[in-house]
Amino acid sequence: MSTYPTGWPGQYTKWPKYHKRAGGPRRGDKTASDPGKPHWGDALGLLVYVGGFIFGGLLLVFSIPGVTEFGAQAYGHPPMSFNDVLAEEPMPSWFLMYSNVVLYSITGIIMLAISWRPFIYSLRWFATWWWVKVLLLPVVWLGTLLLTTLLLVISGHESSVSANQEAVEQAAGESSLLVSIVILGLVGPFVEEYIFRHLLIGKLSHWIPTWITAPISVIAFALLHFIGDPNTSWASVLPYISMAVAFTTVYLISKKSFAYAWLSHAFNNVVSVLLMQLTALDTGFLTI
């Protein structure tokens, strides 16, 4: 008898047989993905994300002796405890980046272990015209910026930077370009696409129609970035709505390709990191 729990990736041999699932891709369709049905690993991933990020459960990691002190020294500051960090106002920018590195590393590893099979399977989207689909990534990015501009013009608001955007920019300024690209540009988008597209749209669509799950994903994605922000404005929310609409549209057009949605999101974030750190221009939005 296997010592692994039912549903553990690599042990549950009946997962994922996508072509045999009800509602899965049609036989012979070389580009369609099937997110599969929700399983216990998805519940774990959602618990880690909601409990760890939204409610701050993973912050307990920094209360472990030596963890926060190591980060302070790594960023060139005198050793300080987690309580010392919390006592500072505003919170040190080096800790913002260090906490992103630690928390997204933990979450990213957990979610990759849970979802690597459907992620690899979703690369089927590149089975045809792969070079066109790769070249469309910058088009999606530009389209997102144009959509944001259009919405701002229609609403009559001027562009505004959210507290989340300011915090991410401060964090990125405290780290090397490579670390910023890996954490903010690659790992962060993977975690968010797993939650907001792969789970909220792909997996829930087994029970709830996509025309309901897609708006839920857009709204949840946008609202997440303004939790605890007392100065939220319509102008600061619009860029995140534009990105949520863009990534959701990409996910659906690519026949629920987790990989392609991640690439679109990652392209947006990597370009934003490069613009912030190499040219000091505020021309993009990071979405973590």
In a domain, 116, yes or no: yes
**pLDDT reported for residue 140:** 96
**pLDDT reported for residue 175:** 78
In a domain, 6, yes or no: no
In a domain, 103, yes or no: yes
Per the structure, the complete domain to which residue 221 belongs is given by 37-279
For the ranges 110-114, 134-138, 157-161, which has the lowest average pLDDT? 157-161
Residue burial 147-167, b: 16+ Cβ < 10 Å; e: rest: bbeebbeeeeeeebebebbeb
Q: Where is pLDDT greater, at 245 or 22?
A: 245
Contact 201, 217 (CB under 8 A): yes
Burial bucket for residue 239 (CB in 10 Å: 0-12, 13-18, 19+): buried
Question: Quick one: average pLDDT of 199-205?
Answer: 95
Question: Quick one: average pLDDT of 88-109?
Answer: 90
Q: What is the CA radius of gyration of the chain?
A: 20
**pLDDT reported for residue 22:** 43
In a domain, 174, yes or no: yes
Question: Quick one: average pLDDT of 226-243?
Answer: 80
**pLDDT reported for residue 12:** 40
In a domain, 83, yes or no: yes
**pLDDT reported for residue 176:** 85
- Give the separation between CA 35 and CA 258, rounded to whole angstroms: 8
In a domain, 13, yes or no: no
Name the band, by pLDDT with cuts 50, 70 and 90, for residue 17: very low
Q: Where is pLDDT greater, at 285 or 282?
A: 285
In a domain, 30, yes or no: no
- Give the separation between CA 73 and CA 210, rounded to whole angstroms: 48
**pLDDT reported for residue 163:** 64
Question: Quick one: average pLDDT of 153-160?
Answer: 77
DSSP the chain: --SSPTT-TTT-TTTT-GGGSTTSPPTT-SS--------HHHHHHHHHHIIIIIS-GGGGGGGSTTHHHHHHHHTTS----HHHHHHSSSPPHHHHHHHHHHHHHHHHHHHHHHHHHHHHHGGGGGGSSHHHHHHHHHHHHHHHHHHHHHHHHHHT------HHHHHHHHHHHTS-HHHHIIIIIIIHHHHHHIIIIIIIIIIGGGTS-HHHHHHHHHHHHHHHTTTT-TT--HHHHHHHHHHHHHHHHHHHHTTS-HHHHHHHHHHHHHHHHHIIIII---------
pLDDT tens string 18-58 = 444 444 555 568 899 989 889 999 999 999 999 988 888 99
Q: What's the total number of domains in the chain?
A: 1
**pLDDT reported for residue 237:** 85
Q: Using the predicted structure, report yes or no on whether residue 165 has a pLDDT greater than 50.
A: yes
Contact 217, 196 (CB under 8 A): yes
**pLDDT reported for residue 2:** 45
Residue length of the chain = 288
In a domain, 29, yes or no: no
Percentage, residues of the chain above pLDDT 70: 83
pTM: 0.86
Q: Where is pLDDT greater, at 176 or 169?
A: 176
Q: Using the predicted structure, report yes or no on whether residue 119 has a pLDDT greater than 50.
A: yes
* Most confident region among 53-62, 196-205, 272-281 by mean pLDDT: 196-205
* Most confident region among 6-10, 55-59, 251-255, 281-285 by mean pLDDT: 251-255
Question: Quick one: average pLDDT of 191-220?
Answer: 95
Checking phi first, is residue 157 left (phi over 0); if not, alpha (psi -120 to 50) or beta?
Answer: beta
**pLDDT reported for residue 151:** 86
- Give the separation between CA 280 and CA 272, rounded to whole angstroms: 10
